[in-house]
Amino acid sequence: MSEDAAVEFEARSHPAFLFDLDGTLIDSVYQHVIAWREALQEVGINLSVWKIHRRIGMSGGLFVSALARELETPLDRDTLAALPALHGDAFLRHYDGVRPLPGARELLTTLTELGVPWAIATSGAERYARRGVELLGLPPDTPLITRDQVRYAKPDPDLFLAAAELIGVDIRDSMVVGDSVWDLLAARRARALGIGLLSGGYGREELIYSGAYRVYEDPRDLLAHIDEVGVRRPL
């Protein structure tokens, strides 16, 4: 094996991990869903809650496009402009119920101890993401890419590409861990491997059909099977 090939082989056998936040590390998807339902209702829009659920985690712009398509009516500019703040207020009303997902802290700590690089990349705004990082008991210098830092959010690959760059790893040596179809589609666009978690409330097959390389229940379940996705733990 040439030296270059050996270096590449070494990297591919020690992947980095790029984590989504909501539904992947913290248990906040259902609060986001209910908050969107309330925000939409405040502007007189009645959209079925399951359809909101299936759009959580995608970019706000695409969310609004999808919404307009579902409603089959154009939405006026003022209504659209008011929605993010209404959702934000409603989400904060429900934030008391948000908790870290089982095993999230242990998974991140274990990766750090093993010297495996990792970062968080979220379609959420920085002000919510910072709260999530605190909830997980992570230090303020945790590698974090938020919606504000890229042009396009998921299912575009930008968030994960920026996260890989931030921690100095090749996206092609990275595993993207997420709970939604949008994470997994973004992973494929980025040429990373996607790992699906059921903890955001999607069905297992929805994640597999979106290209998940592997699906686990939640961070605890992923940690218990971490050797399946290329991380060797000392015996």
Indicate the length of the chain as a whole number: 235
Written as one letter, the residue type at 62 is L
If one asks whether residue 183 binds its own copies (CB under 8 A), the answer comes out as no
Neighbouring-strand partners of residue 16: 174
If one asks whether residue 206 binds its own copies (CB under 8 A), the answer comes out as yes
Question: In angstroms, what is the minimal distance from the CB of 41 to its own copies?
Answer: 6
Choose which of 60, 84, 102, 230 interacts with its own copies (CB under 8 A). Answer: 102
Residue 119's H or E segment, with its range, is strand 118-121
Strand, coil or helix: 115: coil
Q: How far apart are CA 80 and CA 61, in angstroms?
A: 10
If one asks whether residue 65 binds its own copies (CB under 8 A), the answer comes out as no
Question: In angstroms, what is the minimal distance from the CB of 147 to its own copies?
Answer: 23
Question: In angstroms, what is the minimal distance from the CB of 201 to its own copies?
Answer: 4
Residue 56 to residues 50, 156, 194, 201, 231, Cα–Cα distance (Å): 10, 14, 17, 11, 29
Positions in 68-97 near its own copies (CB under 8 A): 94, 97
Two tokens, residue 57? 């985690």
Helix axes 77-94, 60-71, angle to 10 degrees: 110
Residue 174's H or E segment, with its range, is strand 174-178
Residue with smaller CB distance to its own copies, 146 or 199: 199
Question: In angstroms, what is the minimal distance from the CB of 112 to its own copies?
Answer: 23
Q: Mask of contacts with its own copies, 12-51, x by CB under 8 A?
A: -----------x---x-xxx-xx--xx--x----x-xxx-
Which chain residues interact with its own copies by CB under 8 A? 23, 27, 29-31, 33-34, 37-38, 41, 46, 48-50, 53, 94, 97, 99, 101-102, 198-206, 209, 218
